[in-house]
Structure 1
Amino acid sequence: MASLSKTATTRTPRRVEVNQRALVDKVLARYPEEFTVFRELLQNADDARATKVLIEFQTKDYVTHSAGANGKTNGINGTTDIPDLLTTKLFKWVVRNNGDYFEDKDWGRLTKIADGNPDEQKIGAFGVGFYSVFGITDSPLVLSGGKSLSIFFQGDQLYTLDDACSQSEWTSIEMVLKEDMQVPVPKPFDLARFLAATMTFMSSVENAHVSFDNKVFMKIVKSRQVPSPIRVPKDMIPRSKEDTMHIKGLSVVTQGITVELTDWARAAGTKITSAHRSGNENLSKDPVKRKSFWDGSKREAPKVAKVTKAVSRASTYDHPPWLTYSAKYAVYSAQVTTSPSKDLHKGLRAMTKKDPPSHFDFEMVYFSKEEQDARTAEEKSDPDTGSIFKGPQGLFPQLDGEYMSRIFIGQSTAQTTGISGHMSGRFIPTVERGSIDLTNGHIAKWNQELLYVGGFLARLVYEQEIRKVQDAWPTVNGVVVPTADARASASREKASYAMRYFTFQPSTPDAKVSRILQDAFFDCFDYYSNVHFPILTNSGIRYTKDVREIHADFSSFMKMVPTQLPTSPGDPPSLVDILPEKYGVRTYTFSDVVKELQGRILQEEEMIGCLRWWVNFISSLEADEERETTLTFLSNLTDNAKSRIGNSTRVIELHNITKFVDASVWLPWLQSDDALPPDTIPFSFTRALDRRHISPSLLWQPMTLVDWLSHLISPQIDAAHDIRKKLYIF
């Protein structure tokens, strides 16, 4: 070993050579989704506190002559005044923002791969997001504050060249397209869908304009009302399991998004077919009921949607009719402070080259049922393109569908949440932002702790939204209208929607995300001080501890205890199905039955159901000892059971009953209106019961002829039934 060490010290180390072109092309510019360049550059704009972003698509004629060939391009239907976005090829993309100019440190980072922004309040962590532009260009040019920097390849190595430029209010990134990227404008409808979602969690950017050869064809405006504070519930646990994240405040704000699109841009259509756009939403869980079950190998591949909308005759290049789309939604926010352990802090700094943020807002979107219904109506009214807010990378997700809500880290990642609300927080992603990192040591620990905040906020939103439904639920004389009542239909639908919204499903690409969120969703309450979990029942919104599972044996007479709603094969997954044991809906107990009997007088049909349940249950017990033990509860049942007889006002109390009418003895001789002894239950109550099981189950004896005759001559018998005043022939 000594000789080897000595030999090693005499050798000269050689630098590892990196093929920078291959590194950029194969790693840094390979992102999993469309519109990645815009995602990264808009995030840079938001970090620079920009309020407005311009995206410009330019043809070679426009770039060459600075006027787009006198303002004319190839047109539609033989005209020259409206650009043909379907076939006209682009030469250059430009993205501008009105944020802070580049400082020296910003220029320096552009010349260094993987030198992330050290500012803990900035999103960028790895310093590679900007290099996504190399997916479309080999020579980006950055202009800001009177300075410029061009980045280009010589051979396989990257070089930069700085220079001065004219002063402008804009910071601009100009990208002359690679030859194979000189294709028409991305589908404007799809781009608008992406940008509307992209701007959701941006802290500064409020406006985006998109143009073709300096003619604006898309405008997007985000508005935000004044936030309303929410008190942190005292029985919720506002800190993560390892005490890294602390929730100091909560708020909610209504946010709106408006998209304007020219009709000639709208006419370019969308890449998504109506069949693909609808995803799996509302599909039956029964595979036989799905069309694909019968399609077999003959099923055709999805086709690009055709352009079916004609351009308005009133449209011109300079003055096109505008189509306007609007949506609004609630953004719930948790104000988070962090206190990572020394080991976690050190590990995060080593991996991200920056301190973890000391504070930030964690946000979650809630889309109301009314807004979701509006998107569904848009899809139905325009089946060719659907809703501009719904679809791949869209703002509105599909409940139980293909396009689910996502995790945002400033911008959207490919990681879904497993529920129907987008979430945004200071997660640390994988390098390509495909998902959040739950693999690498300290980063995984940070992300797991942050997912607790996500689960906490999701639970808070659920509690807030379901309580709104509960407060608005219709009542009559202070009594909640039953869920099945038509008067409760609006409340019922809103409650069902809220429960469906928060029904956790497997997240992708990492299934652990939804599992961690779900655990936090149910564990963020101090269970010892709060055992309440509200759900929709047959009697409005009730806590699960007071709700019982539906059971056919009890449904005919148990009316006071709320039950979960019935389900059918093929129904979407239910939040009730994933409740942990501590919040689970319970089965009926004998105490429930006794409380029901104590609480009201049953109708005859209800009492028949109660007796049927008891007799069938006792007769099903095979062991004598078990039967005898169970019969000790009979007195609790009969002491409290009261029932009306038919439609009359007469009431019988079971504790007075000791006999029943044996059908094998008395039928057909006994008539329904014949008087019975007061200790004999009317035959209508026991008609449906097996007479062999009545005595063993209820300890009643068959009424004898002596019993009946004695009653007919008793002083309390009414004159109409007095045997001494009426002749009976047998």
Structure 2
Amino acid sequence: MSVNDFRNQILSSSEEKIVGVNKRDLIDKILARYSSKFVIYRELLQNSDDAESKSVQIKFETEMNTDKIIRILFKNNGFPFRSEDWERLIKIAEGNPDKKKIGVFGVGFYSLFTVCEDPFVSSGGQGMALYWRENNLYTKQGERESADDWTTFLFDMREPIELPDVQEFARFLVNSLGFTENLQEITVHFNDKLVIQLSKKIQGPKFTMEIAPEFNRLSSHELFYLASVDFRDVQLNIERLLVPDTCTGKFNQISPSTIFLNIASGNLDVRADYEFSAEMKRITKKELPRETTIQMIYTKFDEQNSSGDCVSPVFKDLFPYPEQGRVHIGFSTHQTTGCCFHLSARVIPTVQRESIDLLDMTLAEYNSEILCLAGTLCRILYENEMIKINRRIVNTQSLEWLEECAARALTHFTFNTTTPNEQVGEITESQFFNCSEEKLTILSTTGILPISDVRIPNLEMLGFIKTVPLVPTIIFEQCKTFFKKAQSMKLIRELNVLDVLIELENREFSENEMFELLKWLISYLSKGNIIDTSNFERFMEVARIGNDFRPLKTIRCFLNPEIIPSSVDVPDYVLSYTISKNLKSQDLIKWFKWSELSLVDWARFISNKPNLETDPTFVKKVYEILAGNFNKFSIDDKSLLRQLFEQKKCIPTKFGMKIPNEAYFEGVNLFPDLPTINFQKSSNVKDLMELFGVRKIVEINLIIDRLTNHDDCDYMQLIKYLASKSNDLKQNEKNMLKSRSIWPKYNQGSQKIQHFVISDLHIPLELHRDLGLPVVDWKVRWVRNTPEEKFLIELGIQQYPTITKILELAAPTTYSDIRYKALRYFINNFDRKYYRNYYAAEINVAFLPCLHDNYAKPLECFINPECTVMSFKVINRGLQHQVGKLGVRQNPNRKELLSKLLQNLPRDEINAEKIFGYLSSRQADFNHSDWNKLATFDFIPIRNQSNEIFFTRPCKCFFKFQDELKDHFLQIDFGKKANRFLQSCGVKDEPSSIEYAELLVKSSHELWQLIGVEKYLNILRKIANGFSNFGNMASKIGLVLQMKHAPILVAITNKNREINSEMRETNNCRLGTAKEIYINDDKIYQGIFNPLTAPEEDNLEIFYKKLGCKSLYDSVKEASIPKGSIRVTDKSKKFQEIIIERASLYYFKYPLNDIKSDDEWLKKLKVREIDYIETSYTLGNIKKTRNNNTSILRDDNKMDSWALYITSNSTTLDISKHIARNIYKSHGWKHIFAVNTLLISSLLDLKEMGYPVDVLLQQVNGKR
């Protein structure tokens, strides 16, 4: 049975019982446990307001002479209790069913039981007493003789309690009074003393506000519709407030106080469907009203400060600003609103009535919809305030006051996290921003605008942003929380580059604003921000300075006043110093690619000023700047400066403005009519004037004219003058002095003066005269190191003979005494005077004396006298130790030696021995290419039988070989030293394998007869070694073909054969071709056929195979037939056991590449005995038949089965031959003997020989 069926069974058949209730516990634990302070008065005040009371009186009665409360009377003058009210009073949890009321003596009444046991209620002439009997609550009701207009609650304290704090209690009552609908007065008595008197007065009629069409009046789920919004003002008064003095016990009168509140009421139409209404009735026990009201309580934004300064602390809770307001459900709850307004609404609270119920799904929807339109009401109030501010902007004189008002309004509507339930603020705030089609408006620096059109200010931009709407500083500073949230919601953004561009496009900037702009941009870029190229170019184009509308893109430079004063004219492309003076140069360079205005660029600009050639004062100011920075100019800069000024009349002189080249320095006084410069301190501009071309000496053409055209001119005095001014002469002037024929030559005994170019003359030394050199005419003794000498040397006078001249004097064409002096002078002064300009290869004068009265150039003679054997020139012995520095070499180089040898071949053997001996001492100089060249030349003299000399190359002759071969090869010997050189050239001790092979191909039979078998075999062995080791012979394809077909190979036979013209026998050996000879790799076949075979040497066998000799084993075809009965005998068993047992030993240390069949093949080999074996052998055309004792044959029935057939006469050697032939690729005697040893030796003997037989021994011992 399911649980559901079980439940139905019980409901249909079982006896029912009513649920009991412990009323005391119910009231004490639940109904009387409201958590807030003054909860009793809150509930009674709420019910009084619902009963439309105008006045409430509260009286605290105390014990005699104490401050302890023993009784409280609470009275209101609302409508009296009706019969249904009395009925609800005695029914727990049955509240007021009136859909417009919050209570009227329902559940809240039972809060009285928190302080009393037996409350009493009197109303309309009737009374009811409530009292406990055990755990049940009972009532008694009766009538009063005379009725009054007051409903009274009397409750005696369970235990005496303290009097409430007067100010705190008054604050609670004021807060409650502010949100009541009907209640207008509250008085509080301590016994008979009136301590608190409060009143409320509605100011004037309601004002209904027109709601703009852009507002969405429906709640999010269309449960409520905002029908209208109206306003009214409320006045709250504290008419009497007595505060007890704790020290004296007396009461102090507090001054009366008044506040004014604004109440905005949103009148909501309820549009709930039937299902939702029914569910609400089930939960709340009330019908949903057709309309309801939400109220926002606040003070005027422009009165907040003035009223707040003098207001009583009792009114504190009615002024939440700048804290959050509270939600009031009749009276204040713990729930905050999120903004600086109190919200009064008929939302459904939790049981404790301290917060809004957002847990129950239906109640949550109902409450959320009311909160939603509370957000709409907030937005309407805010936008209404912005409209008021906008109207005042035109007429107000104080924008700051309006900004304060706007800031306060915005602060009131800045939503923060609500407590205890965050959803309340989230719902309200979301609707606040989303209820209108229009963007939220705020006050900006240009008026009221949508928030999206306004920018959050950037402090760094305030100096230049004037037209872009900004959030005023006052508003931004006071509303940072709002703008931070608005930024996160992307409602507003901070000023950025695009805004700057808009500002720039709308107007020109003053210089101060441009400074602020550049300062901001530098800071912006320095922080790592990036402006894309197109925007930066746009920025530079639209940023314009002052009235001349110059865009920044035209700026290229900025001014450094330490170099160029800010007071002078500068080009238009230079940024105004007013702007740049407070900016860092490195920033202007880095971010704008501007450079500091250079002196050169400034000079280029200033040089085009007209007053440069007319105004000496202006010019002197310019030169003062340039001269002060002269050392900062580069060479190129100075060159440019000179070009700018040298053709302008810009030099002030005592005869007016002159071109620099026409002006002279002050010290030039050679002629009195020279125009000298006119400066206050000419030393300050000396370098600059010199650069421009101002003259330091008299014009050189004038001096030249005096030297050449005036015979009476004292040229020595003129030379001294020029020497003293040498540093001041320009290069072109010095060039004129160098190139003109104005210098007198010394002529002994002649009176006529001859003039020469200075470079054609020498200084007047005695040696120069002895050598016949032209010297300058000098009337007095020549003194070294004087200014005159230095000046003439600078102009180019020869201090000593040139290298060309001195070598010309040392050549054999001059007189011997001059030639000797010239050579000695040249050698002695070579290191000091000629070394740098001396190149031995370029000397074309044969000035060096050699042996045998010859003269030679430096590279045509040598120091080593031994090279004379090859007809080289050798320097005289007296100069051998001095001419090395002149490029004379010790010996000829390798090229010269080769050339000389091949052009002048040795005359005879003696001459050859000397030449080759000398070349042997020089062979370390030769390289590989030289040796290859010598190897191919015919330069070695050979004397033939006719005593005639002919020449051969090194590869055609040898130092030694067998005497019998002297008719076939050339032999030489020029002595030990000479032979070393020839050996390096390629002469070998004996012929090579190739040369021997060529000899055999041509003369094998002749050589066979001449030298005999053993010497012939030695030659073959040499050829075989050359063939296998180096491969040189293998590369001689033609020679190898000849060797294959020629009878050059020694063949061995055991029978005599006829001697014919082609081959002959010599001691069982003869010559044969490769085709006729076999490799003897099978002793059985060799014994049967006795063919021509190769000598049994490994090297020769390999050589024979490469020439084409065939394997005898591969060449013989064999066919065997077993005869007689095939049987297993003791002998066959014995051999089969031994073969299988020792199968692995046959391969011990045997190379893998020479194995034909492995040990598995051996283990499968069967051994059988027969009578005999008939075997036929075929070699070429020769066929022979034999009866054998042993053979290994394939089983006809099985392709992979083999049998070893033996006879009674078979020996182990016979068996070994056949086994070796089948398991090894090579099967010579050593292989046969190895197999035979394994067949006949004991295991112990084999172990002694080193075979691994330990396992076999263990197996044998195990069998025993």
- Following the alignment from structure 1 to structure 2, what is the Cα–Cα distance between the partners of residues 453 and 552? 38
Query: Hey, what does 1:328 align to over in structure 2?
Result: 260
Query: Hey, what does 2:897 align to over in structure 1?
Result: none
- Following the alignment from structure 1 to structure 2, what is the Cα–Cα distance between the partners of residues 721 and 104? 121
Query: Hey, what does 2:506 align to over in structure 1?
Result: 599
Query: Hey, what does 1:36 align to over in structure 2?
Result: 39
Alignment-mate amino acid for residue 161 of structure 1? K
Alignment-mate amino acid for residue 575 of structure 2? I
Query: Hey, what does 1:499 align to over in structure 2?
Result: 410
Summarize the alignment of residues 136-175 of structure 1 with structure 2, pairs less than 5 Å apart: 136-175=115-154
- Following the alignment from structure 1 to structure 2, what is the Cα–Cα distance between the partners of residues 721 and 53? 105
- Following the alignment from structure 1 to structure 2, what is the Cα–Cα distance between the partners of residues 502 and 543? 16
Alignment-mate amino acid for residue 455 of structure 2? R
Instruction: Find out whether 1:632 has 2:610 as its counterpart.
Output: no
Map Cα deviations across residues 358-406 of structure 1 (whole Å, 9 max, x no partner). 1122101112467654675458xxxxxx71112xxx3333523xxx521
Contact 2:558 2:597 in 1 (8 A): yes
Contact 2:55 2:185 in 1 (8 A): yes
Residues 7 and 329 of structure 1: CA distance in aligned 2, closer, same or farther (over 3 Å): closer
Q: Which runs of 5+ in 1 are unaligned?
A: 61-72, 75-86, 269-305, 313-320, 380-385, 482-486, 645-649
Match of 1:388 among 309, 314, 328: 314
Match of 1:239 among 215, 218, 224: 218
Residue 436 of structure 1 deviates from its aligned partner by: 0.7
- Following the alignment from structure 1 to structure 2, what is the Cα–Cα distance between the partners of residues 322 and 620? 60
- Following the alignment from structure 2 to structure 1, what is the Cα–Cα distance between the partners of residues 247 and 346? 40
Contact 2:410 2:479 in 1 (8 A): no
SS at 2:127's partner residue? Answer: strand
- Following the alignment from structure 2 to structure 1, what is the Cα–Cα distance between the partners of residues 129 and 184? 28
Residues 427 and 616 of structure 1: CA distance in aligned 2, closer, same or farther (over 3 Å): closer
RMSD: 3.5
Larger mean CA deviation between 332-341 and 562-571 belongs to: 562-571
Query: Hey, what does 2:243 align to over in structure 1?
Result: 266
Match of 2:550 among 653, 657, 661: 653
Residues 580 and 14 of structure 1: CA distance in aligned 2, closer, same or farther (over 3 Å): farther
Larger mean CA deviation between 701-710 and 238-247 belongs to: 701-710
Query: Hey, what does 2:186 align to over in structure 1?
Result: 208
Alignment-mate amino acid for residue 554 of structure 1? M
Residue 258 of structure 1 deviates from its aligned partner by: 0.4
Summarize the alignment of residues 81-92 of structure 1 with structure 2, pairs less than 5 Å apart: 87-92=66-71
- Following the alignment from structure 1 to structure 2, what is the Cα–Cα distance between the partners of residues 721 and 566? 58
Residue 99 of structure 1 deviates from its aligned partner by: 1.6
Query: Hey, what does 1:19 align to over in structure 2?
Result: 22
Query: Hey, what does 2:344 align to over in structure 1?
Result: 424
Q: TM-score normalized by structure 1?
A: 0.76
Contact 1:676 1:682 in 2 (8 A): no
Alignment-mate amino acid for residue 637 of structure 1? F
- Following the alignment from structure 1 to structure 2, what is the Cα–Cα distance between the partners of residues 8 and 120? 36
Query: Hey, what does 2:375 align to over in structure 1?
Result: 455
Percent identity of equivalent pairs: 27
Map Cα deviations across residues 234-256 of structure 1 (whole Å, 9 max, x no partner). 21211100001110001111111
Larger mean CA deviation between 37-46 and 703-712 belongs to: 703-712
Residues 588 and 719 of structure 1: CA distance in aligned 2, closer, same or farther (over 3 Å): farther
Residue 632 of structure 1 deviates from its aligned partner by: 2.5
- Following the alignment from structure 1 to structure 2, what is the Cα–Cα distance between the partners of residues 561 and 32? 54
Instruction: Find out whether 1:468 has 2:388 as its counterpart.
Output: yes
Residue 615 of structure 1 deviates from its aligned partner by: 5.4
Summarize the alignment of residues 709-728 of structure 1 with structure 2, pairs less than 5 Å apart: 709=603, 711-712=605-606, 726-727=619-620, 728=622
Q: TM-score normalized by structure 2?
A: 0.45
Alignment-mate amino acid for residue 36 of structure 2? E
SS at 2:456's partner residue? Answer: coil
SS at 1:229's partner residue? Answer: strand
- Following the alignment from structure 2 to structure 1, what is the Cα–Cα distance between the partners of residues 363 and 607? 91
Alignment-mate amino acid for residue 245 of structure 1? F
- Following the alignment from structure 1 to structure 2, what is the Cα–Cα distance between the partners of residues 165 and 580? 69
Contact 1:193 1:395 in 2 (8 A): no
Residue 211 of structure 1 deviates from its aligned partner by: 2.1
Query: Hey, what does 1:291 align to over in structure 2?
Result: none
Return the index of the structure with the highest Cα Rg: 2
Instruction: Find out whether 1:340 has 2:272 as its counterpart.
Output: yes
Match of 1:54 among 48, 57, 66: 57
- The count of residues paired between Structure 1 and Structure 2 equals 619
- Following the alignment from structure 2 to structure 1, what is the Cα–Cα distance between the partners of residues 146 and 328? 34
Contact 2:321 2:412 in 1 (8 A): no
- Following the alignment from structure 1 to structure 2, what is the Cα–Cα distance between the partners of residues 311 and 617? 66
Contact 1:114 1:128 in 2 (8 A): yes
Residues 616 and 507 of structure 1: CA distance in aligned 2, closer, same or farther (over 3 Å): closer
Query: Hey, what does 1:533 align to over in structure 2?
Result: 441
Match of 2:326 among 406, 416, 419: 406
- Following the alignment from structure 1 to structure 2, what is the Cα–Cα distance between the partners of residues 713 and 452? 79
Residues 52 and 411 of structure 1: CA distance in aligned 2, closer, same or farther (over 3 Å): same
Residues 548 and 686 of structure 1: CA distance in aligned 2, closer, same or farther (over 3 Å): same
Residues 8 and 637 of structure 1: CA distance in aligned 2, closer, same or farther (over 3 Å): closer
- Following the alignment from structure 2 to structure 1, what is the Cα–Cα distance between the partners of residues 487 and 608? 61
Alignment-mate amino acid for residue 678 of structure 1? D
Contact 2:76 2:152 in 1 (8 A): no
Higher relative CO (Cα under 8 Å, sequence separation at least 6) belongs to 1
Residue 714 of structure 1 deviates from its aligned partner by: 5.1
- Following the alignment from structure 2 to structure 1, what is the Cα–Cα distance between the partners of residues 477 and 577? 43
Instruction: Find out whether 1:113 has 2:36 as its counterpart.
Output: no
Query: Hey, what does 2:235 align to over in structure 1?
Result: 256
Larger mean CA deviation between 612-621 and 407-416 belongs to: 612-621
Residue 7 of structure 1 deviates from its aligned partner by: 6.5
- Following the alignment from structure 2 to structure 1, what is the Cα–Cα distance between the partners of residues 38 and 223? 34
Contact 1:19 1:157 in 2 (8 A): yes
Map Cα deviations across residues 96-153 of structure 1 (whole Å, 9 max, x no partner). 2222222222222112111121111111399311111111222222222222222222
Summarize the alignment of residues 581-592 of structure 1 with structure 2, pairs less than 5 Å apart: 584-592=491-499
- Following the alignment from structure 1 to structure 2, what is the Cα–Cα distance between the partners of residues 520 and 721? 81
- Following the alignment from structure 1 to structure 2, what is the Cα–Cα distance between the partners of residues 614 and 328? 51
Match of 1:363 among 295, 306, 309: 295
Alignment-mate amino acid for residue 521 of structure 1? F
Map Cα deviations across residues 264-286 of structure 1 (whole Å, 9 max, x no partner). x3125xxxxxxxxxxxxxxxxxx
Contact 2:195 2:243 in 1 (8 A): no
Higher helix share: 2
- Following the alignment from structure 2 to structure 1, what is the Cα–Cα distance between the partners of residues 68 and 614? 102
Alignment-mate amino acid for residue 76 of structure 2? N
Map Cα deviations across residues 193-228 of structure 1 (whole Å, 9 max, x no partner). 111110112111111122233443322110112221
Alignment-mate amino acid for residue 600 of structure 1? R
Alignment-mate amino acid for residue 75 of structure 2? R
Instruction: Find out whether 1:186 has 2:164 as its counterpart.
Output: yes
Map Cα deviations across residues 686-719 of structure 1 (whole Å, 9 max, x no partner). 445565665775466765666545544658x799
Residues 130 and 598 of structure 1: CA distance in aligned 2, closer, same or farther (over 3 Å): same
Query: Hey, what does 2:756 align to over in structure 1?
Result: none
SS at 2:501's partner residue? Answer: helix
- Following the alignment from structure 2 to structure 1, what is the Cα–Cα distance between the partners of residues 298 and 469? 28
SS at 2:455's partner residue? Answer: coil
Residue 419 of structure 1 deviates from its aligned partner by: 1.9
Match of 1:349 among 281, 286, 298: 281
Residues 110 and 419 of structure 1: CA distance in aligned 2, closer, same or farther (over 3 Å): same
Contact 2:375 2:432 in 1 (8 A): yes
Residue 179 of structure 1 deviates from its aligned partner by: 2.6
Residue 550 of structure 1 deviates from its aligned partner by: 3.3
Residue 621 of structure 1 deviates from its aligned partner by: 7.3
Residues 697 and 572 of structure 1: CA distance in aligned 2, closer, same or farther (over 3 Å): closer
Alignment-mate amino acid for residue 183 of structure 2? V
- Following the alignment from structure 2 to structure 1, what is the Cα–Cα distance between the partners of residues 487 and 212? 21
Match of 1:519 among 430, 435, 444: 430
Residue 452 of structure 1 deviates from its aligned partner by: 0.8
Alignment-mate amino acid for residue 422 of structure 2? A
SS at 2:33's partner residue? Answer: coil
Map Cα deviations across residues 19-54 of structure 1 (whole Å, 9 max, x no partner). 111111111111111211111111112111121122
Alignment-mate amino acid for residue 313 of structure 2? S
Query: Hey, what does 1:285 align to over in structure 2?
Result: none
Residue 618 of structure 1 deviates from its aligned partner by: 6.3
Larger mean CA deviation between 462-471 and 695-704 belongs to: 695-704
Map Cα deviations across residues 570-619 of structure 1 (whole Å, 9 max, x no partner). 98862222226556321334332122123333221321232344456668
Query: Hey, what does 1:80 align to over in structure 2?
Result: none
Alignment-mate amino acid for residue 677 of structure 1? P
Residues 682 and 325 of structure 1: CA distance in aligned 2, closer, same or farther (over 3 Å): closer
